[in-house]
Amino acid sequence: MKKLGQIELKQTDKNLCVDQSYRRIVFPFAIAETLVWATYFYSFPAFLPTWEQDLGFSKASLTGAFTLSLFVSALLSPAIGRLIDQGYGRIVFASSAALASLMLFLLSGVTQIWQFYFIWFVIGIAMSGSLYDACFAIVTYSLGGNARRAITLITLAAGFAGTVSFPSAHLLSELFGWRTAILLFALTVAFVCVPLILYGSSYADKQSKLNAPKPSKNIKDALAIVKAPSFWFIGITFFLISINHGIIISHMLPIFYERGLSAGAAVLMAALIGPMQVAGRLVMITIENRVTIFAICIASLTAIFVAGWAIYYGSTAISLIFLFVVAQGSGYGVVMIIRPTVIAELLGRRDFGIVAGLLAMGFVIGTAVAPTLGSLLWLNGGYDLVIFVAICIPVLAALSLIGAWRHQS
């Protein structure tokens, strides 16, 4: 009886620790990630038409700045990951958000194109240390086996970042002008996001010291993982998925128009992609303890494959377009958050930050080049060719994923 009581006491202590972790880490990070994505990622497309009209720069010139920021973020991901491995997660996360706040403040006064590019170059630095990959690395180190559900909960909230950003940008711009709207975004990051990050990451640091494996002493040892075939298979898998989603989403509205939807119906369908990502993550929460990570990945890739065929034949029935929205949104929504779990399961948690950062390079670069690739495909074969390539990609990604599991470390 005494032994049974000790077991129950240990289980109670464990549950209390998990509850405290969620209250002190997950909830602050969920709010912070929602706001950082809303204020300096989705703010770009939200304000793009206004900038084009008010600043007098071409759309191509403006979007080039955002592409630059994505490349900067991708290239810095391994260095940011290494800093997190070495215990600097709190400093990296909070200072990156503070840097973004400063750049948004400067953005509110921009008048020249070189200023615009400089600001988004620096925002790319801030993105590398404050968006999902950095946040997930900190959560993985601090929560260990509980990280998967924690990451899912964070992204359930952050999945509504676009829903927050677009209406806020529009309303504030109408009331006060876009410059004041951007300034208010900057203040939100400085006085809401940064304090939440400092609060959550201070507790995460304490948990990491107790739970996280010691990082490699030198960079050469940390980079030895690149010799593992599973590392490359994982990288290829998620690079392909970023290409699939990027070429489809960046051309989604014209594809809908070509399939016969009105402007209003097309916008409505496009707006449902975000909620469907959240729906996919909710389904994952309900089944994650009954199925393997591999099964979840394959199911998500299957959904993306089905989505491709649905939109290919979307002109025959609007129900197929709705099926595309449900399947593409839910499939990609799960794939996007399962990456850290796949990395931890196949490659381990040691040096997780730099490993995840290296793999994030391919994912972010794929996201950056996908719109241009989609345009090139459209020029050579119309949107049928764009969609057909998108259909083939999840098949290749599934084969790569199978290779990753067969060669796991």
Which residues have C-beta within 8 Å of that of residue 276, sequence separation ≥ 6?
A: 325, 326, 328, 329, 330, 333
Residue pLDDT, tens place only, 100-110: 999 999 999 99
CB-based contact 78:63 (threshold 8 Å): no
First to last CA, the chain: 42
Task: Let me know the angle formed at the C-alpha of 212 by 210 and 213, rounded to the nearest 5 degrees.
Answer: 120
| CA 166 to each of CA 37, 39, 160, 342: distance values in angstroms, whole numbers, following the listed order | 11, 10, 10, 32
The residue behind tokens 């850290």 is 340
Residue pLDDT, tens place only, 8-60: 444 444 444 555 667 789 999 999 999 999 998 888 888 888 898 899 888 77
**φ/ψ bin of 223: left (φ > 0), alpha (ψ from -120 to 50), beta (otherwise):** alpha
Instruction: Write down the pLDDT at residue 45.
Output: 82
Instruction: Write down the pLDDT at residue 210.
Output: 67
CA torsion 399-401-402-408 (nearest 10°) is: 150
| Burial degree of 116 (CB within 10 A; 0-12, 13-18, 19+) | buried
pTM of the model: 0.82
d(CA 307, CA 304): 5
d(CA 275, CA 311): 18
C-alpha 179: how far from chain center: 27
Is 70 exceeded by the pLDDT of residue 7?
Answer: no
SS3 of 66-128: the string is HHHHHHHHHHHHHHHHHHHHCCCHHHHHHHHHHHHHHHHHHHCCCCCHHHHHHHHHHHHHHHH
- Helix 113-130 vs helix 27-40: crossing angle, to nearest 10: 160
Instruction: Write down the pLDDT at residue 268.
Output: 81
d(CA 113, CA 41): 19
Cα-trace Rg, the chain: 21
CATH topology of domain 1-212: Growth Hormone; Chain: A; (1.20.1250)
Residue pLDDT, tens place only, 189-248: 999 999 999 999 988 888 777 666 677 777 777 788 888 899 999 999 999 999 998 888
Instruction: Write down the pLDDT at residue 12.
Output: 44
3-state secondary structure of 409: coil
CB-based contact 67:368 (threshold 8 Å): yes
Q: What is the mean pLDDT of residues 153-170?
A: 84
Residue pLDDT, tens place only, 348-376: 878 888 888 889 888 888 988 888 888 88
Instruction: Write down the pLDDT at residue 17.
Output: 53
CB-based contact 29:200 (threshold 8 Å): yes
Among 118-127, 151-160, 182-191, 313-322, the least confident range? 151-160
Per-domain residue ranges of the chain:
1-212, 221-409
> Six-digit token pair at 102?
């400063």
CB-based contact 82:222 (threshold 8 Å): yes
CATH number of the domain at 221-409, please? 1.20.1250.20
Residue pLDDT, tens place only, 56-101: 888 778 888 888 998 899 899 999 988 998 888 999 999 999 999 9
d(CA 269, CA 276): 11
Give the residue from 254, 221, 206 showing the smallest Cα distance to 21.
206
d(CA 299, CA 295): 6
